[in-house]
Amino acid sequence: MALREGVRLCPSILNADHAHLSQEIERVAASSDWLHLDVMDNIFVPNQTFSLTESQEIIGLSSLPVDAHLMIANPDEVAVRYAQAGAKSVTFHLEASADPLRTIAAIKENGARAAIAIKPKTLFSEFESLLPEVDMVLVMTVEPGFGGQSFMQEMLPKVELVREVIDRLERDIWLQVDGGISAETIALAARAGADTFVAGSAVYKAESPDAMLRLLRKLAMSASSLE
Ligand code: DX5
Ligand code: ZN
């Protein structure tokens, strides 16, 4: 039987107003479970965002636990520092890692949940064997690098496959989707088996981010029949 307990919403501050981050975080805190922090190095993806020092500041000012999504080269060296900086969940890209098992272990040893992220072109067979080792799998539903892109429906079979394996393992491994999640797409992802949802532009472009998050939660809950 599935161990899914509910849905988790993780607004991404990538496209929030960076000049007023603490207010931007407060706007979503009441209706969210995690704060999703997109770290990009301009090497693994063609965009650059928060440094480790800036990430640490954001972790410090967030009342929500921080879910750090590292879109960086060499995560095997750096991922553990995000756990040490206080991120409660650290996700690194499998495509950038030479030793995922060691990196997963190092993140866990430093008190954070450990997760792997999978780019759209990475096949299920390339990461299936790692599933029992992680606390969460992030199936990207856009090419990583930018907010505001369209949801890739062709990723849904991959989400379904991951869900099948997690259910078979009978382990509480979270299944996250990131990219193009909105009121139009969240039910598709939830129905395919996702239980943890990143949403950037849909939340911060809404007139009321709080109302949008409540709507997203309702849609995800009813699509996964958890209501
Ligand atoms: C993209 C990032 C996402 C981004 C999502 O590479 O990983 O977290 O903020 O933004 P939306 O929801 O606008 O697609
Ligand atoms: Zn992300």
pLDDT tens profile 70-83: 999 999 999 999 99
Q: 15 falls in which pLDDT band (50, 70, 90)? A: confident
Closest atom of ligand 1 to 40 CA is 6
**Domain that residue 200 falls in:** 8-223
Q: 225 falls in which pLDDT band (50, 70, 90)? A: confident
- Laid out side by side, the sheet with 89-93 consists of 8-11, 196-199, 174-178, 136-140, 113-118, 89-93, 66-71, 35-40
Residue 46 lies in a domain: yes
In the predicted structure, residue 3 carries a pLDDT above the cut 90: no
Quick one: average pLDDT of 166-188? 97
- Report if pTM > 0.85: yes
- Our answer to whether residue 172 is catalytic in this structure is no
Measured from CB, residues less than 6 Å from any atom of ligand 1 are: 12, 14, 36, 38, 69, 142, 144-149, 178-181, 198-202
In the predicted structure, residue 224 carries a pLDDT above the cut 60: yes
Give CA–CA dist 165/133, Å, rounded: 12
In the predicted structure, residue 227 carries a pLDDT above the cut 60: no
Ligand 1 mutation pick, 141, 178, 213, max ligand atoms within 8 A of CB: 178
How does DSSP assign 190-222, residue by residue?
HHHT--EEEESHHHHTSS-HHHHHHHHHHHHHH
Which amino acid does the sequence have at 156?
Answer: L
Contacts of 104 (CB under 8 A, 6+ apart): 114, 116, 130, 133, 134
In the predicted structure, residue 28 carries a pLDDT above the cut 80: yes
Ligand 2 centre to CA of 75 (Å) is: 15
Ligand 2 centre to CA of 38 (Å) is: 5
CA distances from 124 to 42, 111, 181 (A): 26, 28, 21
Residue 1 lies in a domain: no
Residue corresponding to tokens 């209501």: 227
Q: Which residue of the set 38, 41, 67, 195 is catalytic?
A: 38
Residue 42 lies in a domain: yes
Residue 135 lies in a domain: yes
Ligand with minimal distance to 14 CA: 1
Gap between the terminal Cα atoms of the chain = 17
Structure token digits, residue 46: 């063609």
Quick one: average pLDDT of 115-125? 98
Residue 59 lies in a domain: yes
pLDDT tens profile 50-68: 999 999 999 999 999 999 9
Residue 3 lies in a domain: no
Q: How does DSSP classify residue 172?
A: -
Residue 2 lies in a domain: no
- Our answer to whether residue 38 is catalytic in this structure is yes
Domain count of the fold of the chain: 1
For the domain that residue 147 is a member of, what is the CATH number?
3.20.20.70
| Chain mean pLDDT for the chain | 96
Q: Residue 226's pLDDT is what?
A: 60
In the predicted structure, residue 169 carries a pLDDT above the cut 60: yes
Contact 63, 93 (CB under 8 A): no
Residue 150 lies in a domain: yes
Q: Is 134 helix (H, G, I), strand (E, B) or coil?
A: coil
